[in-house]
Amino acid sequence: MSEPWTQIELDLAEQMRGSDIISVRQFESQELRTLLSIVARFEGDSQPLLHGRVLAALFFEPSTRTRLSFESAMARLGGSVIGFADAGISSASKGETLQDTIRIVESYCDLFVIRHPREGAARAAAEATFRPLINGGDGSNQHPTQTLLDLYTIQRRIGRVAGLRIGFLGDLKYGRAAHSLVEATAMLGNELILISPDSLRLPHRRVGELRERGTPYEETPNLAGAIPELDVLYVTRIQRERFVDPLDYERVKNAYQVDRATVDQGREGMIVMHPLPRVNEIHPDVDSSPRAAYFEQAKNGLTVRKALLALLMGAIE
């Protein structure tokens, strides 16, 4: 953290102090860029900027990376974490409403991160508390901190987050990581290639938004045809837990399996991303390819979350 903060960074920091992070839509494209430059300041060792602060991590859905990277980020900034990783052991299992849980826990913490299976749950939770709240994923809707770490990874790998051709592959119907990143990359000015089985296409509403924005996009089921054109291939897991009919899942569960031979069809410099966890959609033989960026994404999640926690707590240097 050597270079002094720029005025534009300080202005954004001031704006974010005490605020919530619910959706990528709350940011303008310039703010996303500024956020990425702030995140870079949190690389490496950190000062105990959040000493004595407490994060409540309330996870009503499974998580590994999001929860543990928030916990680690808080620990590395000198703060501590309370919460649960399994709603089955919280009073939610006794029928307590989300709003009541939030109102109780707010007296034990300084900010929240919440993951919940219901779309809109993060916004509802934020409305129930005066504490800052971060959406760690709400149903199929949004996963804004995943998007920030995705953008940060693209920025580091390719050197820019605009003017790229980005392929989204897999479950574009239910995947919240894809939904958030589609919105942000459209806003930043990229061309989107939406590659999915017909039954898992990006919802109409979201495609309509791309059209209204004037984002160049294409929808296709054909990965082999699309791959030579891409700068980024963003692979996603088929979201089994969101299917209403398990048979529908069975039909598409092996729709795409990306392996080394597949990615070798990409142009020079194309990177392969995935929010993880993967099931079988990326073969482990891609891991040793220089194109593989997914483990780096998970690692960058720590840096991004340190920055966000410090910003919301108004604890910048």
- What does the binding site for ligand NCD look like in residue numbers (CB under 6 A)? 65-66, 137, 143, 146, 176-177, 237, 275-276
Catalytic residue among 33, 34, 53, 66: 66
Of residues 65 and 173, the one with the C-beta less far from ligand NCD: 65
Q: Are strands 111-116 and 54-59 parallel, antiparallel or unpaired?
A: parallel
- Is 305 considered catalytic here? no
Cis peptide leading into 290, omega within 30 of 0? Answer: no
Closest approach of ligand NCD to the CB of residue 282, in Å: 12
Closest approach of ligand NCD to the CB of residue 211, in Å: 25
Of residues 126 and 177, the one with the C-beta less far from ligand NCD: 177
- Is 185 considered catalytic here? no
Catalytic residue among 53, 67, 76, 143: 143
Closest approach of ligand NCD to the CB of residue 137, in Å: 5
Of residues 66 and 101, the one with the C-beta less far from ligand NCD: 66
- Is 173 considered catalytic here? no
- Is 131 considered catalytic here? no
Of residues 49 and 234, the one with the C-beta less far from ligand NCD: 234
Closest approach of ligand NCD to the CB of residue 265, in Å: 24
Closest approach of ligand NCD to the CB of residue 93, in Å: 21
Of residues 261 and 279, the one with the C-beta less far from ligand NCD: 279
- Is 253 considered catalytic here? no
Q: Which positions are annotated as active-site residues?
A: 65-66, 94, 115, 143
